[in-house]
Chain A
Amino acid sequence: MLDRREFLTAIGGGVAVLVAPGAADAQRGEALPQDLSAWLHIGKDGIVTAYTGKVEAGQGIRTSLAQAVAEELRTPLASVRLVMGDTDLTPFDMGTFGSRTTPTMAPQLRRAAATGRELLVDLAAKRWNTERAGLRAEAGKITKAGESISYGELADGQELIRTIPPDIALTPAKEWKVAGTPAPKADARAIVTGQHQYPSDITRPGMLYGKVVRPPSFRAKLDSVDGSKAEALAGVKVVRDGDFLGVVAPHPRVAERAAALVEARWSEAPGQPSSAELFGYLKQHASAEERAPAERGSLEKGLAQADVRLKQTYTVAYIAHCPLETRAAVAEWNDGRLTVWTGTQRPFGVRGELAAKFGIPEDRVHVIMPDTGAGYGGKHSGDAAVEAARLAKAADKPVKLVWTRQEEFTWAYFRPSGVIEVESGATRTGLITAWDFRNINSGGAGIQMAYEVPNHRMTFQPSETPLRQGSYRALAATANHFARETHIDELAHEIRMDPLEFRLRNTHDPRFRAVLTAAAERFGWGKRKAPVGHGFGIAAGWEKGGYVATCAEVAIEESKVRVRHVVAAFECGAIVNPDNLRNQVEGAVIMGLGGALFEAIEFQDGRILNGRLAKYRVPRFSDVPAIETVLLDRKDLPSSGAGECPIVGIAPAVGNAIFEAAGARLRSLPLAPKGLPA
């Protein structure tokens, strides 16, 4: 990491803004990094560079953060660049997950930009020997009556650093001019011309190509290796390090051939559970520990007050993220310093993984994240980075490693599977009196609800997981919303009340009610009847600061479920970029359809049985319904992230619609992988 002086020298002077010691995000109480790296630089060419450890993986944050910077600096969007996810150049960051970029990073960059703007006003006042009061920052210039000077001219020849004052004022959303508009995606031209360099496109001089020789099943131990046939190929080296086995070669095709020629003997671990016995296994192995139980009132009393009582179990399968760009990394060692280009949502986390793996200090590891071909929560770990670095170390040359799709399906991690047990009671007048909700294994995200139930208990119990599991877009909120919103629908049917009315009767939360009402209105809920063989479903949720309500129409065609029409109403505070937001909401609905209807990982004896795109079905053009997105813009509320929340409503909305269409109540995700059960 460079110090301030070195930093300014390295970037050729200008004006830089740093984080103020002790600054924190007051709103969320979340500590931001205290180091002295820069957040913002204004060069003599007027180009504004903002630095953030967040990364771009398709969610559009490179664009919306640039909008926030341009807004506060009063400079054209085209003059703003973002350096992202580079551990030597950007301030420390935990990672890009949990929809945290918009609520925490955008205000931070806004503060930096506002500080830069005030500094430029000071510089202009000094240059003109005048009071600040008559000066205005606009369109990349400071102006006074009849005169103006560009930011570039003001920054030229300066080597100025200012820290962000704690009380710097930000522009309220009602006055936004650049934020709040549908700015097109940054770097889109490089993408449509094939010029953008993704992690798997990076090359280095003298680079070799790596390939990992994988064990036949999970938890297998490497007994012996004969690499002689592989090493008979020109330039090939076989690398063994404990149970890690790989090859390096001068060309990717040679690496592939060499890996196939390595003769390895493995001891496989017997008795690994299969997907057929998954849910029983999770229940049997649930820990006694209950995480973050939310408890109020008396369930016993609540159930006694109820006219109807209901007890049901819901399950969700493991699913794969399947980002279109598989894990990839290029690793290069120079004098004990390691540089790695890799697709990850946690460049600083991967820096830590690499430092720990090789027993070197973190300041000798540099991780760079070129905008990657998606993540969806699936690229938190540095698997490919560590493997490439091991191979590069053994080969003493830069090494590139790109996982195959089959490797991605097998050796990455999955969205956790889970079993959710719900017991509830409601009165005939439509009030939920008791709510007992227990999630085993999949997680606690989204377990709290907007319904006000006087007697409730919500718990999450971890379990032993047969497969490696980790983050996935919206975490367990998808599972918990599926179980909750399906169960709510069941209760509504039990007491013969319209599911929308039943939901509205049990919540006062105005934001929750607003999305429900907006979705229902657009969909025409209650205004029309589903045609024969069709059904309507509704579901709503609240997650990561956003609110979503989803209505779905399905048609059953010879036991096949076709989703025909979806309305998603979404509210996430003040909208930063309405076009990108629509894109995210639509994308979440479509990705969510896969997990709702047909995605599931099948496994047996430590092997993934459907770890190929030919066997694992993801949503395609023909699966896409007509989607209408209703955005509620709340300029009076802080902006929340939007990459996750909109995914939680689609599965229960579709499941509830299937019930109306076919009378079949489906309680497992995926709902209908092979059509409706006979």
Chain B
Amino acid sequence: MPPITELIVNGTRQRVEAEPETPLLSVLRDDLGLTGTKYGCGEGQCGACTVLIDGVAARSCITRLSSAAGKRVTTIEGIAAHGGLAPIQEAFLRAGAMQCGFCTAGMIVASAGLLARSPNATEEEIRQSLEGNVCRCGTYPRIVAAVRMATRMKLAAHREEARHA
């Protein structure tokens, strides 16, 4: 029997029975039924499978299950608190930053990782940080616009919080 690995996915403790070298993407999609994370290339080249591991963006298709053991994994399904929309999701909607949408989950999660470490990311930082994510439909300018919009939304939300504090 394969060993059991424990990890925390979208805030829920999960026990997964799989070989340690199993790609995290397969665990998420095939064992936990979290299909929002997409398979695009299987070699870390397209970013469709991006998740956050302890808040840092990672390619789940080339991340072994063992290296996620005991860590917090966040997928597109867990990016927003309480079933609403995270600012970055709201921004993608407002900017119309998609066509087929197959890259969108990876783009949003990668952007969330960027905004967590750099809330005021510049356009250049956004482009550089998302360079590993492919949108074959070519909606890149809209994605940049969406992430920039999210930085402003976060800023506005912070100001609002500060006003009420």
Contact = CB atoms under 8 A, between A and B. Distances in A.
Contact of A326 (B18, B22, B39, B77): B39
Given A591-B137, A624-B140, A197 B35 contact: yes
Nearest to A252: B30
Interface string B122-145: 000001101111111111111110
B142 to A, nearest CB: 7
A590 interface: yes
Contact of B38 (A203, A324, A580): A324
B162 interface: no
B102 A198 contact: yes
Contacts of B135: 324
Contacts of B127: 621-622
B99 A193 contact: no
Contacts of B103: 324
Contact of B48 (A185, A324, A404, A590): A324
A589 B142 CA distance: 14
Interface stretch (B89-97, B113-121, B151-159): B89-97
A58 B135 CA distance: 11
Contacts of A374: 99-100, 102, 136-137
Contact of A324 (B46, B77, B92): B46
A451 B133 CA distance: 41
B32 interface: no
Most buried by A among B22, B80, B98: B98
Given A60-B99, A324-B102, A374-B102, A620 B39 contact: no
Interface residues of A, number: 57
Contact of B101 (A58, A588, A622): A58
B23 to A, nearest CB: 9
Interface in A323-338: 323-326
B52 interface: no
A192 B92 contact: yes
B138 A613 contact: no
Interface residues of B, number: 53
B58 interface: no
Contacts of B60: none
A614 interface: yes
A372 B96 contact: no
A675 interface: no
A624 B135 CA distance: 11
Main SS at interface, chain A: loop
Given A196-B101, A589-B138, A253 B131 contact: no
B93 A192 contact: yes
Interface in A500-516: none
Contacts of B42: 404-406
Nearest to A194: B36
A325 B138 CA distance: 15
A545 interface: no
Contacts of B128: 621-622
B30 A201 contact: no
A188 B101 contact: yes
Interface in A614-645: 614, 618-622, 624, 627
B101 A614 contact: no
A402 interface: yes
Most buried by A among B18, B22, B45, B131: B45
Given A191-B101, A193-B85, A583-B99, A612 B93 contact: no
A184 B94 CA distance: 8
Contact of A612 (B41, B92, B131): B41
Nearest to A624: B140
B141 A624 contact: yes
A201 B35 contact: yes
Interface string A571-592: 0000000011001101111110
Contact of B138 (A182, A197, A373, A588): A588
Nearest to B99: A58
Most buried by A among B38, B39, B138: B138
A189 interface: yes
Contacts of B55: none
Nearest to A196: B101
Interface in B68-110: 75-77, 80, 85, 89, 92-93, 96, 98-105, 108
Contact of A252 (B26, B33, B76, B93): B26
Contact of A373 (B30, B35, B102, B132): B102
Interface in B24-68: 26, 30, 33-43, 45-46, 48
A93 B14 CA distance: 46
Contact of B130 (A402, A619, A621): A621
B40 A405 contact: yes
A563 interface: no
Contact of A590 (B34, B132, B138): B138
Contacts of A198: 38, 102
Most buried by B among A59, A193, A622: A193
Interface in A516-548: none
Nearest to B142: A583
B71 to A, nearest CB: 20
A188 B98 contact: yes
A57 interface: yes
Contacts of B141: 586, 624, 627
Nearest to B100: A58
Interface string A63-87: 0000000000000000000000000
Contact of B108 (A192, A322, A371, A405): A192
A468 interface: no
B144 A621 contact: yes
A192 B140 contact: no
Contacts of B80: 193
A417 interface: no
Interface of A: 57-60, 182, 184-185, 188-189, 191-198, 200-201, 203, 251-253, 322-326, 371-374, 376, 402, 404-406, 579-580, 583-584, 586-591, 612-614, 618-622, 624, 627
10 contacts: A58-B100, A184-B93, A185-B96, A193-B76, A198-B38, A323-B102, A324-B136, A371-B100, A591-B137, A620-B131
Given A196-B101, A200-B38, 13 more contacts: A58-B101, A198-B102, A253-B30, A325-B100, A371-B101, A373-B100, A583-B139, A613-B134, A620-B134, A621-B127, A621-B128, A621-B130, A622-B131
9 nearest CB pairs, A to B: A194-B36, A58-B100, A590-B138, A373-B102, A194-B76, A191-B101, A58-B99, A587-B138, A613-B45
